[in-house]
């Protein structure tokens, strides 16, 4: 069942700008290197904090790599030679990025969106859950586990929960950056090199793994529509890279 607190009616209202100003929506083509993306995010977040740039949701794909959040444990990096590993500065533990995974970096001015980090994270979960509904996938949240999960049932076996979207954010001067990653059609075998998000007892999945051959463009359209329902209007923008 969805966390009932997540569905609190006050959350969407707090997360929408009262002035109705749209956030930018930018999509990069090709693969964007992780250090370059982080530098661009940091620069944009600083400019937003200074009032010199507008908010931005930046969609991209990374080449195959692992990132370590501020809570990452060394023992959860099972195969350090498998892929490049980058310290990220975001919340959370180890995660994987790679082709077929849609990463959305969310640079929003939380001074205009309620100044409530917990509510903001709930909003990110609602955003992903709403996007998954477009493909008849029931995304769920779990207490103590940030991210979005799907329940898998196989006849004769106990149900299991697999993670389909990771969430890891950082807030500086009340501006958010980092964001979410949604597994559309990544190579799930690369998750074998880490304990994803420090949760060894749970698996990972993707839309393709669930039997849904969704294109990246279709995933983007679902994400855009759901974002507007939770956070408010968007306007097309140029990607930083």
Q: Which residues are catalytic?
A: 197
CA quadruple 138, 229, 5, 174: dihedral sign: positive
DSSP, res 208:
T
Distances (CA, A) of 155 to 139, 159, 239: 21, 9, 46
Radius of gyration (C-alpha) of the chain in whole angstroms = 17
Say which residue the tokens 């937003």 belong to: 48
| SS3 of residue 135 by DSSP | coil
| SS3 of residue 39 by DSSP | helix
Q: How far apart are CA 67 and CA 89, in angstroms?
A: 9
Q: How many CB atoms lie within 10 A of CB 51?
A: 8
Q: How many residues does the chain have?
A: 241
């Amino acid at each position: 069942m969805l966390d009932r607190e997540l569905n609190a009616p006050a959350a969407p209202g707090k997360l929408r700008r009262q002035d109705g100003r749209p956030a930018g929506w930018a999509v990069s083509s090709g693969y964007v290197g992780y250090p370059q993306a982080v530098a661009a995010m940091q620069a944009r977040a600083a400019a937003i904090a200074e009032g010199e740039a507008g908010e931005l949701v930046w969609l991209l794909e990374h080449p195959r790599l692992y990132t370590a959040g501020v809570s990452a444990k060394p023992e959860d990096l099972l195969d350090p030679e498998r892929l490049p590993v980058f310290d990220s500065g975001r919340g959370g533990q180890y995660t994987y990025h790679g082709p077929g995974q849609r990463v959305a970096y969310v640079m929003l001015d939380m001074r205009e969106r309620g100044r409530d980090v917990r509510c903001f994270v709930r909003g990110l979960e609602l955003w992903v859950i709403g996007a998954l509904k477009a493909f008849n996938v029931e995304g769920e949240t779990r207490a103590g586990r940030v991210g979005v999960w799907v329940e898998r049932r196989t006849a004769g076996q106990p149900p299991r929960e697999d993670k389909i979207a990771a969430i890891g954010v950082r807030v500086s001067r009340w501006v958010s950056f980092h964001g979410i990653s949604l597994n559309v059609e990544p190579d799930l075998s690369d998750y074998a090199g880490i304990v994803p998000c420090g949760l060894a007892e749970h698996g990972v999945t993707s839309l393709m793994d669930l039997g849904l051959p969704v294109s990246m463009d279709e995933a983007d359209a679902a994400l855009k529509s759901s974002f507007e329902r939770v956070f408010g209007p968007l306007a097309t923008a140029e990607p930083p890279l």
